[in-house]
Structure 1
Amino acid sequence: MDYGKFKYEAAQKQRESRRNQQMTVIKEQKLRPKIDDHDYETKKGHVIRFLEAGSKVKVTIMFRGREQSRPELGFRLLQRLGNDVAEYGFVETSAKQDGRNMTMVLAPHKGAKTRAKAAQQSNASAPAEQTSDEPAGKD
């Protein structure tokens, strides 16, 4: 085998391995310790949507002013969020304080992306079945 063919095959293998590589996307959701219930539900919905899409989610609690003296509020909020989204993902990195911020990383359960695609396909086929039950027209 000559060097040119060897080089070509090595490049093909490298290209193939890059194609099969899984790209991990980390989305971020920022919260404040004194978040209202409706705002919390909205942010939780975003986190659930990201996890269903197969992305990891970094949840950041931003402390300002006197909020920094009460880190347990942020810790409880992160625990609550982790429990609320437990069916969609799990806590990959537990809550830890980093200066003014407290962060936690949530990761989707294995196969979350394939389940989301299957659900989307079943939803797309459901309306097609409903239209076939209707009568063809008036006489």
Structure 2
Amino acid sequence: MTQSTTTTGGHISTEPRINDRIRVPEVRLVGPAGEQVGIVKIETALQLATDSELDLVEVAPMARPPVAKLMDYGKFKYENAQKARDSRRNQTNTIIKEMKLRPKIDVHDYETKKGHVVRFLKGGDKVKITIMFRGREQSRPELGYNLLKKLSADVDEFGFVESSPKQDGRNMIMVLGPHKKKTEAKVDIAAERDRRMAARAENIAAEEQAAAEQRAQHAAQPSVPRRRGPADNMDPDIEV
């Protein structure tokens, strides 16, 4: 049974009142298994909590009378903290990346930036594509529209058009959304990393095996004695 403590001053606690901190004449009591006990005096509810080695926790203070439940409050807090941690761990945070292009971008730069967009989408992130117009380019918005249309078609395997192209001052903007959620993308990225590591390990093992077989073949070959020639009988100190 959790011992209640009383503190003065400081911040206002957001935790429910428990045990003798519940200062009402009676409560609607709920048993540890969720069963309805009924309206009882606070003294009776506290005595039941003591007898069952549980805590009396006020779960609905605004009800008339307040609702209190018999429970192991320490265990209840621990389980709630675990659920909160799991929820934060599994939370999906979609990040909006941004990629800026010019209407007359060359092929090489386009392919490079398209690769970045694909990488962002595969990672589960949204991508804001901004076409920047300068000077006379502003009179030809179809250049930006056609470029955005081409880009969306090139990356449709990984994402979709979440926000259609629209003019925003001197810029034209389109937002692409990923087909896969952040959590799914993380799983796929981890699987791809594991696959590459396994393939690399297999290649290293194959190279080592081939080198070992080559050494074994070389060691198995009989050594052929070298034929001696006239130079072998010459005095090494004689200059030729």
TM-score band w.r.t. shorter chain:
0.7 to 0.9
1:9 offset after TM fit, Å?
A: 6.4
Matched position secondary structure for 1:33: coil
Distance 1:17 1:129 in 2: 38
* Structure 1 residues without counterparts, runs of 5 or longer: none
Distance 1:19 1:113 in 2: 13
Distance 1:15 1:114, change over 3 A: closer
| 1:51 corresponding residue in structure 2 | 121
Question: 2:176 is matched by which residue type in structure 1?
Answer: L
Q: Quick one: higher RCO (CA 8 Å, sep 6+), 1 or 2?
A: 1
Which of structure 1's runs of 4+ aligned residues deviate more than 6 A? none
Q: Does 1:79 align with 2:157?
A: no
Higher-helix-fraction structure: 1
Distance 2:133 2:79 in 1: 51
| 2:50 corresponding residue in structure 1 | none
Distance 1:75 1:10, change over 3 A: farther
Q: TM-score, normalised by structure 1?
A: 0.85
| 1:114 corresponding residue in structure 2 | 187
Q: Does 1:66 align with 2:136?
A: yes
| 1:3 corresponding residue in structure 2 | 17
Distance 1:15 1:130 in 2: 40
Distance 2:104 2:194 in 1: 39
Paired-residue identity, %: 59
Matched position secondary structure for 1:82: helix
Deviation digits for residues 55-112 of structure 1, max 9, x if unmatched?
1111100111111111111000000000001111111111111111111111221234
Which structure's CA Rg is the greater one? 2
| 1:124 corresponding residue in structure 2 | 197
Query: How many pairs align?
Result: 139
